[in-house]
Homo-oligomer: A and B are copies of this chain.
Amino acid sequence: MNTQHFSTKERILGAAEQLFATHGFAGASLRQVTAAANVNLAAVNYHFGSKENLINEVFRRRLDDLNAHRIEELDKAAARTDSDLEDLLSAFIRPALDLSLDRTGGGAFIRVLARAFAEHNDALRKFLSDNYGHVMKRFHAAFAQRLPNLDKEELYWRLDIIAGALTYAMADFGVIKRKTGVTEQTHRERAVEHLIRFAAAGLRAP
């Protein structure tokens, strides 16, 4: 991530992602970030204005893509008349799995997301809600259509739990050593299947 053929901005984002994953938002200093990115300390404020905005941009870079894929998969599932709860859950969960498996830092980003859940940071939650609330609304609507007896707020609440469980599982799996070669991907695939079954059962509960 700190090779020279990426732009300064990209190198900062990559280094920040890694360090936020490891030390947290408060724990990783801009000095650590700029040193790892091999750029000057002042570059962060020049390109991003502030540390808080840098944090937001770390999210934006990945979430734009992730949520676009989710909407894409949701549209596919919604177009089919025979799609069920599991298909909707898959549309939400599979893109996150793919991201966690990519080789350009996606695994680190998933750990950053896990931290965001733990943070309960109001500014961060507002940013996520402002920018990606519409994705949750789309999924909420799709689930609500298939679960007409479930209270709307209860549904939001359960989707939040599912997002949390997914993030945690992906972040934790990131620590596992892939001893026997293919295992890493296989394990995550299985985790996703378990999650989908678990989440579907949870959603169907009265």
Give bound CA distance, A205 to B197, whole Å.
14
Known A-B contacts A24-B24, A194-B198, A202-B194; A164 and B157 likewise in contact (beta carbons under 8 Å): no
A157 and chain B: residue at smallest CB distance: B176
Q: Which of A92-100, A138-146, A167-175 faces chain B?
A: A167-175
Give bound CA distance, A85 to B61, whole Å.
43
Give bound CA distance, A120 to B26, whole Å.
14
Known A-B contacts A114-B118, A201-B194; A164 and B172 likewise in contact (beta carbons under 8 Å): yes
CB distance from A198 to the nearest CB of B (A): 5
With a cutoff of 8 Å between Cβ atoms, the chain B residues found around residue A23 in the complex are 26
**In the complex this chain forms, how many copies of it are found?**
2
A23 and chain B: residue at smallest CB distance: B26
> Which residues 94-132 in A have Cβ within 8 Å of B in the complex?
111, 114-115, 117-120
A167 and chain B: residue at smallest CB distance: B168
Give bound CA distance, A160 to B175, whole Å.
11
Asked if A22 is at the interface of the complex by the 8 Å CB criterion, the answer is yes
Give bound CA distance, A114 to B119, whole Å.
10
Asked if A190 is at the interface of the complex by the 8 Å CB criterion, the answer is yes
Q: Are A175 and B26 in contact (CB under 8 A)?
A: no
Q: Are B176 and A205 in contact (CB under 8 A)?
A: no
Give bound CA distance, A202 to B193, whole Å.
11
Asked if A43 is at the interface of the complex by the 8 Å CB criterion, the answer is no
Q: Mark A10-25, 1 if CB is under 8 A from B, else 0.
A: 0000000000001111
Known A-B contacts A175-B120, A190-B205; A24 and B26 likewise in contact (beta carbons under 8 Å): yes
